[in-house]
Amino acid sequence: MRRTARLLALPVAVALVLGACGGDDPEAADAAPASSSPADGSSAAAGSPPPAAPVPAGGTVAVTSVDFSFALDRDELTAGTYEITLTNDGDSTHDLVVERDGEEVAASEAVDPGQSTTLTVDLEAGEYVFYCSIANHRAMGMEVPVEVS
């Protein structure tokens, strides 16, 4: 909800900043209002900077499976859309399931040794588990907790 409010406030802030900039066009100066306030009714101090744009999130994550473990190339993830590439460097077939609160969010196809596959997933803030669903691989330790902020 905060993200939506920030995104809605951004165009208002940009319009305020652009409206405050002077120009050489006398007609534009005559048409500009003497004062303005944000659409949400709050007051903004003159000359105050616009709110910061949201930090870009998402991107790519490389997950490597070796025997019965996973290694991720990133320790910190922020909410967003990710392209996750699973590369199987082990000797067995593996897959990758993304789970949150016991519910499957996304899953890859099974990949043979030496192969890779890519899946796209939207991650919201929260706790996830990445694991292999083939046979008893998860029970053998092929899972990793992932925190998304």
Rg (CA), the chain: 24
CATH topology of domain 59-148: Immunoglobulin-like (2.60.40)
Tokens of 142: 């092929």
pLDDT digits (tens, 9 = 90+) for 115-143: 999 999 999 999 999 999 999 999 999 99
Residue 68: its H or E element: none
The ranges assigned to domains in the chain are 1-50, 59-148
Alpha-carbon gap, residue 38 to 29, rounded angstroms = 20
pLDDT digits (tens, 9 = 90+) for 50-109: 554 444 568 999 999 998 999 999 988 999 999 999 999 999 999 999 999 999 999 999
